[in-house]
Structure 1
């Protein structure tokens, strides 16, 4: 591809504008300025991966500061060469035309009226743009559009600081202070050459307005620039800390780290110092979910205790959540979780009536020190008390508690509100995990299609936001689908990623997924071993749910002692929970271990209760095991009724291994059933397909990154997902995989 052909291209195929807007809305839901959104769509020219990578860099674009998109690319990449070629063409233009391009590069919405007004105050005449248009670098119509995102970047980077300040000053002069005060403040800040307290204060007010309209990234950018323009150290430290908190919430941990260093150097009072320590600990958690975070959060909680009891209790709860994610077994002994729980249990109470944080903290502390039954009444209060919403670790903890209590309705309600609020406000740091948890709900409810869509969304978010990837729902979906190769590979990739970080919960969930998979396949000895491992530690959710898998495997192998021991704990938990899902799970487990006619009533009870729970995946399995029991007891007509329903439900949702068990049982009753041939492998997302096709054709990660305008690190991340979903281990195996051809126009728009 020549530079000339790239710059001249006007007709490459790709996403149409409607689909491009939909993709951008999914990738950056917090981009609230429609004018900026339209300009990004226009300049991406239908290239989905260029659009995604551009959107991932939109920390301050909506405010007028174009991101340094190729800044992390090595200079030898194709994108770097293209940008340098564009820069040479820009430098060849007349000086007034270059000044016009500087204005266009820092004006974010592509409004020709604003641009021409700024040109007028800069004493540029109406013909100034003609050389740039003739060179194919910019188009002027109803919207100002650069020919390629790298043109804008080349203009921005080739301009000197003086030229950029001059451009911002002109744009500030023509921006109405009443109708667009925030953009005017941003341009004034871009033009500022020295600290200015009044301007810093105006930027701080703009940050407040950005938060109110759902722009977390915008708020962070306003506050960062406010801190830079603040002359007095105390105020600068306060604003830098606030900017760091906003950047962390928006999913920009590296920027948050830089701002924390600024705040630390400026000097902070004891309370803000403790908040700084807490934010550093929170960043460690969102980046890794590993063994480092619990101790850091516990230290922050202790620092906050004499200064702000409410914030201290929240931080103790975060430390407990981090300890849960660090898990158990080899990576984090159970004593670590118990130790954090003991410390949290001793945290001083806040005056006034208890709220959600108090019930969550007291309940989880009780669970890990006094046991599950003692914790349930307190935890249930946490789900009942209003005011625990928002986009925080607290709400994420509440959703985990809902899973632990088999409270499906609360689980869905909490996560629906969490995800909606996070999308609307741009609080992206916790969104991938919340979307993964929401996918888990739809999986248990039997809606595998919705679960798969949410898993793809979580993957796209993780590619754009540098946080620890949530591996739970992908493993569980592959397991429920009965895809042995994909489950094994996803578990391998997840553990490889989690082990260095010390995220022990991934190991536990991988074993639980293995138990589900092998129970579906009828490999009961393997399922038994996996379920025993998954329930060997007091891990939230996996222990409760894993006990049910352990009972089924033990019953099939006639390991009655193992099954009875698991049933005793499962019954204790189910009675404490009392939900239809919990009681139905218990009744089904008891039926599996009951020998004789008494099992019949237990199976019927299980079906009634699981029907009330609306957890269709578990209801379908109950129909299956009841049908199997009926057939073994020579009640073929009754068996066919249960097995037909099981086969229909399991087939419709895509639980192929369990559906095949139902089909085989129906065949054994003498009923003919056609075998389904649906491919249940996890499908590749569009960006994964593009990366895989280019890798199959022999491109290196660096070359793919240059072609698709993404970093080599992002390419590697996509390839790991591709290998896991296709159950392969090398690029060579991509040649035999069923992939679409690499699009001829990828990255060439």
Structure 2
């Protein structure tokens, strides 16, 4: 029956999505409603309307496939795999791995799989608008659900329309949360009556009609199935209706009764079809030879419209499949799965064979458990973490040996955590933790527990669990224990001042000292990092400096193949920052970024982007830093999170004070919520930038007081602290800070710190003529640093000193240099301060562009600004798409909007108008 009753609003919204797709835009929506309420009918309607104008991909998920990793994505993307060569290499490799087209040595990152799926689907949509329909999305396998949810969130201008249908509310499909939703409610009585009259061929008594409509409460499936169950005499009122009228939960019983009227062969075929998750007719016919049915057995089932066998085996409704399967006696289900296991083995599908063997097992069976474990490892190599977790959990349930069972439970928990499902992983981990006879096992339990805490946003608890894991493992595996300690150090760096007492940096340092590496064991760069970190937090930075520099050098030389490379690089970046070694930080951070992109490692890439962005910002390369922060924010958004620290730092440097104040509050709340104290450090730095650029020295001094701690990440701002103290008249404090900076510069004699020290010396001697050569020395050193940031500040402060000494002509030269450098950087707040000083020095040629930009000056959206900055930086549309996790078509769309808003016609003109895009 093609007609839909009472669905005008729903059809209108869905057809508007199709129209949007035909005009080059994209859209996604989730239909939510009870079983049988009409979601599938709406998908059928949309599919019929789209025929001819759209390419159509449809996948009707079934609960049995929920355990098969990337099953839905295989079905949806298989017709378009010929487009793989057009994707960037990392994305091509990610999809190649899950489709078994490439080596499985490294599981693909799930974020990359989502980006690749977006690229493949949008490439198809470029030829003809594409409609993707997914029914019963609550039964999607976890990996496919994540990838499709990613695509639905990141598409914009690709002629791609995605419509999902889920049972009940959106909570049944958590990966789709946040997408627009459309409730599909039961039909009002008037429309239910129309439907009933349409499905009854013969006479329909008015009283009978009203009773059926009332009893089915507007559920179309219940109404239709009730009519199927009633005789013409009952419908016409000649015979009484049953009481109650069959509906609701009884629908499955109706389906069961339908199957009982079929011949034995047809019932056996239906059970095999219900038990087989592939929907492959070839499997059905092969199984028939052993289950006593042949091709003729399908006819009665098809005549009753219970299922259809064409290219795939499909049931009229998922409830039929469920009813057939669960109503069958256990012995029949076991026999059916055993036969299907043999068929899967004959077809070479060893993973599916293991799955069927597990479903056929009625008692523990170590042989089947081993096959399931092997299947799980093969699934892991394709990135199917959630599916592997299910296989391992089932393997554990079939295992008789207690240690093996505990090991498989632990592996299942770990796979769930990597899949981003800590709620599913925690019970598995709790079960694994019950086995305490193996100390190595206990330590690994704590390591996985740390990852669950990290996913929950509890940074302190994560660090504490890592320390516990190291203590457990140390007596039996010191190598692994110390590797875990490197992970704990990185976690502690993130926690910063918000870390609980048990996992402070000093507590961690003491544990490192308590777990030394045996003399006979080979040392790694991680060991060098640990020993340096322990010395730093127990004896101080002076005692640790040589070790820290040596550890950083060892990490620089570490091979890309080292398993712990990303942890080493993350720890080394933090150590370079607290040493004030801007050159080492830049080298390490960019290597981390390169290796993360090469290996398709998303989380290390996010860490790398944070470090590279800070490195560029400190150098005064604000435009470059903003682009890197953009990429980091895009990464977080692609994962469904938010990141504002970069935007706060950029707003502070650009003199966008209203925006900075708003972001300050957001960052403060997020840091407290996630236990990420490092964000508070950079929040305080942003505050100091705002205060210094406005000449509010007391506030700047208060915000920078944390610079002097041994583990401070703001060593580059110590000179600013000297300036603030001097301007507040706190000479004794200024001298003390200057002495600290002198000690640091001796430990790390790089041009940046040597120039900072010279400038600090000049500041504390500013009433003395001897300050002048020190200012000139600072400028000379800062000429040899990366970027213009320090050089601009040294010219600025020297110019101010000259003006106060009434040497206005010389002052104008240096203030003009500072103003121009600040302007080129985009540091509007400092540019305005320099311009005001220049005016006070008698300059009358004041360019107007030094006024801090208003926060909404260009009227570009956040995404348009990101695209524009990358385009102005010379990136191609494909490169922008890869870096912002968008499609090329969306990038092109945003870029056309940018050109129109800014009144430019080329990328060259865009580069010339960088001031309007925050660059």
User: TM-score normalised to the size of structure 2?
Assistant: 0.58
Equivalence for 2:506: 338
CA 1:190–1:590 in 2, change beyond 3 Å: closer, same or farther?
farther
Distance of 2:282 and 2:741 partners within structure 1: 72
CA distance in 1: counterparts of 2:295 and 2:10, whole angstroms: 30
Corresponding position of 1:12: 20
Aligned to 1:234: 403
Distance change (3 Å), C-alpha of 1:670 and 1:426: same
Q: Is the 8 A contact 2:796 2:814 kept in 1?
A: no
In the superposition, the TM-score normalised over structure 1's length comes to 0.70
2:831 aligned residue (659, 662, 672):
659
Kindly state the Cα deviation for residue 355 of structure 1 after the two structures are TM-superposed.
Answer: 1.6
Aligned counterparts of 1:580 and 1:220: Cα–Cα separation in 2: 52
Q: Distance in 1 between matches of 2:319 and 2:751?
A: 61
The within-5 A match list for 1:138-153 is none
Which 5+ residue runs of structure 1 have no aligned equivalent? 108-113, 690-749
Provide closer, same or farther for how the CA distance between residues 155 and 646 of structure 1 changes in structure 2, counting only shifts above 3 A: farther
Corresponding residue of 1:347 = 515
Where does residue 736 of structure 1 map in the other structure? none
Q: CA deviation at 1:246?
A: 3.9
Deviations 1:264-303 (A, max 9, x none): 2466622111221232134334543544444443333222
Q: Is contact 2:493–2:574 with CA below 8 Å preserved after alignment?
A: no
Give the one of 724, 729, 737 matched to 1:553.
724
2:813 alignment partner in structure 1: 638
Q: 5 Å matches for 1:424-573?
A: 432-445=606-619, 446=621, 447-463=624-640, 472-499=645-672, 502-532=675-705, 534-535=706-707, 537-542=709-714, 544-573=715-744
Q: Quick one: distance in 2 between partners of 1:48 and 1:368?
A: 58
1:34-75 per-residue CA deviation (whole Å, 9 max, x = no partner) reads 698687775999999999xx99x9743399999997788358
Query: Secondary structure of the residue that 1:527 maps to in structure 2?
Result: helix
Pairing 1:272–2:441 present: yes
- Contact between 1:481 and 1:656, CA under 8 Å: does it hold in 2? yes
497-506 or 206-215, larger mean C-alpha shift = 206-215
RMSD: 5.7
Higher Cα Rg, which structure: 2
The superposition leaves residues 213-253 of structure 1 with CA deviations (integer Å, 9 ceiling, x where unpaired) of 66766765664554455454322321222233344345443
- Change over 3 Å in CA distance of 1:415–1:378 after alignment to 2: same
Quote the offset at 1:377 in angstroms: 1.3
Q: What SS class does the counterpart of residue 712 from structure 2 fall into?
A: coil
How far off its partner does 1:535 sit? 3.1
Q: How does 1:154-169 map to 2 (within 5 A)?
A: none
Q: Residue 421 and residue 646 in structure 1: after superposition, are their counterparts in 2 closer, same or farther (change >3 A)?
A: closer
Provide the residue aligned with 1:578 in structure 2: 749
Change (3 A) 1:10 1:325: closer
CA contact (8 A) 2:722 2:734 kept: yes
Is the 8 Å Cα contact of residues 106 and 167 (structure 1) preserved in structure 2? no
Match of 1:730 in 2: none
Deviation of 1:379 (Å)? 1.6
The C-alpha deviation readout for 1:377-428, integer Å capped at 9, x for no partner, is 1122222222566465444222212222334454345445545655676766
Q: Could you tell me how far apart the structure 2 residues matched to 1:429 and 1:552 are? A: 38
Check the 8 A contact 1:620/1:649 in 2, yes or no.
no
Query: What does the per-residue CA deviation read over 1:441-468, in whole Å, with 9 as the maximum and x for residues that have no partner?
Result: 343341133133223224315526xxxx
Q: Are the equivalent residues in 2 in contact too, given 1:422–1:428 (CA < 8 A)?
A: yes
Aligned equivalents of 1:423, 1:228: Cα separation in 2: 39
Counterparts of 2:772 and 2:779 in 1: how far apart (Å)?
11
Alpha-carbon distance, 1:546 to partner: 3.9
1:649 to 813, 819, 824: 824
The change in CA–CA distance for 1:679 and 1:182 in structure 2 (over 3 A counts) is farther
CA distance in 2, matches of 1:291, 1:607: 42
571-580 or 679-688, larger mean C-alpha shift? 679-688
Note if 1:401 corresponds to 2:575. Answer: yes
Secondary structure, in 3 states, of the residue corresponding to 2:640?
helix
Kept after mapping to 1: 8 A contact 2:459/2:674: yes
Cα distance in 2, alignment partners of residues 414 and 32 from structure 1: 29
Q: Distance in 2 between matches of 1:617 and 1:250?
A: 42
Residue 541 (structure 2) aligned to one of 368, 372, 378: 372
Q: How does 1:417-428 map to 2 (within 5 A)?
A: 417-418=591-592
After TM superposition, the structure 1 = structure 2 runs for residues 45-84 of structure 1, keeping only pairs within 5 Å, are 59-61=142-144, 73=170, 79=181, 81-82=183-184
Q: Secondary structure at the match of 2:613?
A: helix
Q: CA deviation at 1:374?
A: 1.4
How many Å apart are 1:673 and its aligned residue?
A: 0.4
**What is the CA-CA distance between 1:337 and the residue it aligns to?**
3.2
3-state SS of paired residue (1:613) = coil
Contact 2:271-2:324 within 8 A present in 1 as well: no
Query: Is there any run of 5+ residues in structure 2 with no aligned partner, and where?
Result: 1-6, 28-76, 101-112, 150-163, 187-218, 226-250, 260-265, 289-293, 867-919
Q: Do 1:74 and 1:80's aligned partners in 2 also have CA atoms closer than 8 Å?
A: no
Structure 1 residues 487 and 71: alpha-carbon distance in aligned structure 2, compared to 1, 3 A threshold: farther
Residue 376 of structure 1: how far off its partner (Å): 1.7
Question: Which residue, out of 254, 260, 263, partners 2:423?
Answer: 254
- Report the equivalent of 1:33: 98
Deviations 1:78-108 (A, max 9, x none): 9584499898899999999x9899999966x
The corresponding residue for 1:692 is none
- Deviations 1:692-723 (Å, cap 9, x if unpaired)? xxxxxxxxxxxxxxxxxxxxxxxxxxxxxxxx
Structure 1 distance, partners of 2:397, 2:295, is 35
Distance 1:612 1:279, change over 3 A: farther
Any idea what the Cα deviations from partners look like across 1:151-183, whole Å, max 9, x if unmatched?
A: 999999999679999999999888798987667
Q: Aligned pair in 2 of structure 1 residues 545, 63: CA closer, same or farther (>3 Å)?
A: closer
Q: Is the 8 A contact 1:250 1:427 kept in 2?
A: no
Q: 1:601 to 1:643 in 2, by over 3 A?
A: same
2:157 maps to which residue? none
Pick from 604, 611, 614 the counterpart of residue 786 of structure 2. Answer: 614
Contact 1:236/1:266, CA 8 A, preserved across alignment: no
**Offset at residue 662 of structure 1 (A):** 3.2
CA contact (8 A) 1:643 1:665 kept: no
Structure 2 CA distance for partners of 1:399 and 1:171, relative to 1, 3 Å? farther
Distance in 2 of aligned mates of 1:383 and 1:158: 63
Q: Which piece of structure 1 moves more, 264-273 or 407-416? A: 407-416
- Aligned-partner Cα distance in 2 for 1:457–1:535: 30
Cα–Cα, structure 1 residues 444 and 425, in superposed 2: closer, same or farther, change >3 Å? same
2:737 partner SS: helix
- When residues 554 and 344 of structure 1 are mapped into structure 2, their CA distance, relative to the original with a 3 A threshold, is same
**Deviation of 1:585 (Å):** 3.0
Q: Counterparts in 2 of 1:693-732, with a 5 A limit?
A: none
- Of 387-396 and 188-197, more deviation after overlay is shown by 188-197
Tell whether the 8 Å contact from 2:590 to 2:608 is kept in structure 1 after alignment: no
Contact kept? 2:652, 2:687, Cα under 8 Å: yes
Aligned equivalent of 2:531: 362
